[in-house]
Chains A and B, each alone.
Chain A
Amino acid sequence: MIFSRFLALLSTRNKEFIRDRSSLGWNILMPVLIVAGFAFAFSGDIGKQFKVGVIHQTAATDISQKFLSLKHIEFYQIDNLESAIKKVQRHQVDMIIDAEKQQYWINAESPAGYMAEKVLLSSDQSGFEKQLVSGKKIRYLDWVIPGILSMNMMFSALFGVGFVIVRYRKNGMLKRLKATPITAFEYLSAQVVSRIILIMMVTAFVFYSTNLFVDFVMNGSHLSLFFIFALGALSMISLGLVIAARITSEETAGGLLNLFSWPMMFFSGVWFSMEGAAPVMQSIAEIFPLTHVTAAARSIMIDGASLLDVSYHILVLSGQSVAFLLFGSWYFKWD
């Protein structure tokens, strides 16, 4: 790779994006508007339903079954007590009961937990042992923000690179570049790096500006979060390169990009947890880069996780980035 050629492409692409005011404006404004919309929409607990996690449900006595059959309480089975207790600490789950050991956990600061406890005790006289936990409430907004930031990155990565490459191929710009000494790897690297820089700048702006009026939870390291977002951007840009490697029509590119982005948007845990979803859906979600960016960012922001704690997601995103980049470079056609 000749660095001067790479830098010439990178610099021109950056200027092109920054000077395109309407595109830049929407890239920044859109996620801010989504966050503001969610902050407004979820400012209260309208229509809340009690949520109770149950462990060892099969061991429930007849008396416990009476509680578990109550209406207007969402019961769900849990396998990992430790992570479930964290959710009680964050007010994401109102109560956990262990049907076998006859124990229940509630958050001492949660009104919904207090109410759930009253319902349990009035319907079950078997003498469940109370376990108290404490912790600051995690709002839905806090939970959804890592997903919104990741999703915005995904759209910027897929459409910002994929669409631009197809447009350049269609209007002959790529053909003109093919006639110069630059290589496909130099060209694609410049596209990837340019888009990562722009995504990170926009994401940082959206993160800090929305935090001014939403004040969302950020318990982890900003540097770790930056690393995860940069790696996630690389992975999704590389996916965009694969999609755009040979397509010559913007309409086909738009269809294909939507085919990838919409399932990711809904089944990567951006808007709702995939914990209760069918196992096959959970397996499919594991393929999506957005799943891993969102999960890792959420762990860092909410749980204060370190990079080591999210190493599984880092490993998957790194593997996907390398695979997509290699395949995209190999499969790429100038015209």
Chain B
Amino acid sequence: MADAIASPLLQIKNLVKHYPSVKAVNGIDINLPAGVCFGLLGPNGAGKTTTVEILEGIIEATSGEILYKGEPPGDRFRKEAGIMFQSTALQDFISVHETLQMFANFYPRNTDLDKLIERCNLNEYLDQDNRELSGGQRQRLLLAIALVNDPDIVFLDEPTTGLDPQARRNFWDLINDIKAEGKTIILTTHYMDEAYSLCDEIAIMDHGKIIAEGTPKALLQANFNDVILQLPEAELANVNLDELNTHQRDGYIEIMTDDVNKVIAVLIENNVSLSQLQIRSRTLDDLFLELTGKALRA
């Protein structure tokens, strides 16, 4: 019994998916304990969606082993998993309530539909045709569908892509609610603030491999011991920055340093105005850039 509790909910061993022209997933290992929110990050084409779709049983792996609760995923997995794809069409001419009811009928175990509707804030749209839903309403319905079977494990593939900032924040609250229930979540996202805010553990993928894995804080601490000073490019146009560690980003010059006083002294010495100076800690965006050499949303 003690072994059963200690064993991971999901184990992935040397997972490989090769297409004729590309190695989409190239030997990854993940051990996922129950109750964690696990973030899979990576640029477009890194292999994260392929990985997740293999786990969901949508596509077949070339090789490797997946164990759910110690067994190869089968009928039990399909009944206990909740899945929200990156994009899913819903049937036209069918209402929100009818859609939920149809999916509920697919599963032997259901969550309380009224509570689910309340939680996902779908009350006002229950009789609305799927075609008439806004982006945020639609995402909440897709999340409700993923939760209709009271799943033990929930896959959320870029759930907030395309939502406005307020809708994203509302969606984060929903995901935090699911986390609070102790459900295991696998989240893929392009948004680093989302991963930082929601995930207990993250893995960064590139070229089909996991290149870093751990808690967001631990990964940042392991890779950085400096801060970033930001100034508009125009302010530094006539300053020789050769001795500083810098790079350009979105019209700003970023100076990475573990000695802020020294950098500020250099800037003052060169008559640079500090009125627009910003100092920030390292983020997952920086970590990603450091590890992969490319901007995440490129």
* Residues of A near any B CB (own CB < 8 A): 4-5, 7-9, 11-12, 15-16, 19-20, 168, 171-173, 175-176, 178-182, 335
In the bound complex, residues from chain B placing their C-beta under 8 Å from that of A7 are: 105
In the bound complex, residues from chain B placing their C-beta under 8 Å from that of A5 are: 105-106
Say yes or no: A181 contacts B98, CB within 8 Å.
no
A-contact 0/1 string along B48-59, CB 8 Å cutoff: 000000001111
Say yes or no: B87 contacts A179, CB within 8 Å.
no
In the bound complex, residues from chain B placing their C-beta under 8 Å from that of A181 are: 75, 78-79, 106-108
Asked if B94 is at the interface (CB within 8 A of a chain A CB), the reply is yes
A-contact 0/1 string along B84-107, CB 8 Å cutoff: 010111111110001101110111
Asked if B83 is at the interface (CB within 8 A of a chain A CB), the reply is yes
User: What's the Cα separation between A11 and B102 when bound, in Å?
Assistant: 9
User: CB < 8 Å: which of B58, B75, B98, B105 contacts A178?
Assistant: B58
Asked if B81 is at the interface (CB within 8 A of a chain A CB), the reply is yes
Say yes or no: B92 contacts A16, CB within 8 Å.
yes
A-B contacts besides A12-B91, A16-B92, 20 pairs, CB < 8 Å: A4-B105, A8-B105, A11-B102, A12-B98, A12-B99, A12-B102, A15-B93, A16-B94, A20-B92, A168-B89, A172-B88, A172-B89, A175-B85, A176-B85, A178-B57, A179-B58, A179-B78, A179-B81, A181-B78, A181-B108
User: What's the Cα separation between A286 and B53 when bound, in Å?
Assistant: 45
User: CB < 8 Å: which of B75, B89, B93, B101 contacts A19?
Assistant: B93
* A323, chain B: closest CB distance, angstroms: 28
User: What's the Cα separation between A246 and B199 when bound, in Å?
Assistant: 38
User: CB < 8 Å: which of B78, B87, B101, B145 contacts A8?
Assistant: B101
Interface pairs (6), CB distance under 8 Å: A4-B105, A8-B105, A16-B93, A172-B87, A173-B91, A335-B58
* A194, chain B: closest CB distance, angstroms: 12
- With contacts A12-B102, A180-B103 taken as known, whether A173 is within 8 angstroms of B90 at the C-beta atoms is yes
Most buried by A among B57, B89, B94, B103: B89
* A11, chain B: closest CB distance, angstroms: 8
In the bound complex, residues from chain A placing their C-beta under 8 Å from that of B94 are: 12, 15-16
User: What's the Cα separation between A9 and B94 when bound, in Å?
Assistant: 12
Say yes or no: B57 contacts A179, CB within 8 Å.
yes
Q: List which B173-209 residues lie within 8 A (CB) of chain A.
A: none
User: CB < 8 Å: which of B79, B85, B99, B101 contacts A172?
Assistant: B85
In the bound complex, residues from chain B placing their C-beta under 8 Å from that of A175 are: 58, 85, 88
Tell me the number of A-to-B contacts counted with CB atoms below 8 Å: 65
- With contacts A4-B105, A5-B105 taken as known, whether A179 is within 8 angstroms of B89 at the C-beta atoms is no
User: What's the Cα separation between A100 and B95 when bound, in Å?
Assistant: 74
In the bound complex, residues from chain A placing their C-beta under 8 Å from that of B145 are: 176
User: CB < 8 Å: which of A16, A182, A335 contacts B91?
Assistant: A16
User: What's the Cα separation between A7 and B79 when bound, in Å?
Assistant: 18
Chain B residue with the shortest CB-CB distance to A21: B93
Chain A residue with the shortest CB-CB distance to B77: A181
In the bound complex, residues from chain B placing their C-beta under 8 Å from that of A15 are: 93-94, 98
Chain B residue with the shortest CB-CB distance to A18: B93
Say yes or no: A180 contacts B107, CB within 8 Å.
yes
In the bound complex, residues from chain A placing their C-beta under 8 Å from that of B98 are: 12, 15
Chain A residue with the shortest CB-CB distance to B107: A181
User: What's the Cα separation between A108 and B57 when bound, in Å?
Assistant: 74
Say yes or no: A20 contacts B106, CB within 8 Å.
no
In the bound complex, residues from chain B placing their C-beta under 8 Å from that of A182 are: 106
Say yes or no: A173 contacts B89, CB within 8 Å.
yes
Say yes or no: B83 contacts A179, CB within 8 Å.
yes
Chain A residue with the shortest CB-CB distance to B76: A181
In the bound complex, residues from chain B placing their C-beta under 8 Å from that of A20 are: 92-93
* B288, chain A: closest CB distance, angstroms: 28
A-B complex: 7 closest residue pairs judged by Cβ atoms: A171-B89, A8-B105, A19-B93, A180-B106, A179-B83, A176-B88, A181-B78
Most buried by A among B94, B101, B102: B102
User: What's the Cα separation between A171 and B106 when bound, in Å?
Assistant: 20
In the bound complex, residues from chain B placing their C-beta under 8 Å from that of A12 are: 91, 94, 98-99, 102
User: What's the Cα separation between A181 and B145 when bound, in Å?
Assistant: 14
User: What's the Cα separation between A15 and B127 when bound, in Å?
Assistant: 14
Chain B residue with the shortest CB-CB distance to A182: B106
Chain B residue with the shortest CB-CB distance to A23: B93
In the bound complex, residues from chain B placing their C-beta under 8 Å from that of A172 are: 85, 87-89
Most buried by B among A4, A168, A176, A178: A176
User: What's the Cα separation between A168 and B92 when bound, in Å?
Assistant: 11
User: What's the Cα separation between A20 and B93 when bound, in Å?
Assistant: 7
* A292, chain B: closest CB distance, angstroms: 34
User: What's the Cα separation between A19 and B105 when bound, in Å?
Assistant: 21
User: What's the Cα separation between A168 and B91 when bound, in Å?
Assistant: 9
Say yes or no: B92 contacts A8, CB within 8 Å.
no
Chain B residue with the shortest CB-CB distance to A13: B91
In the bound complex, residues from chain A placing their C-beta under 8 Å from that of B56 are: 179
* A179, chain B: closest CB distance, angstroms: 4
In the bound complex, residues from chain A placing their C-beta under 8 Å from that of B99 are: 12
User: What's the Cα separation between A16 and B105 when bound, in Å?
Assistant: 17
In the bound complex, residues from chain A placing their C-beta under 8 Å from that of B78 are: 179-181
* B228, chain A: closest CB distance, angstroms: 40
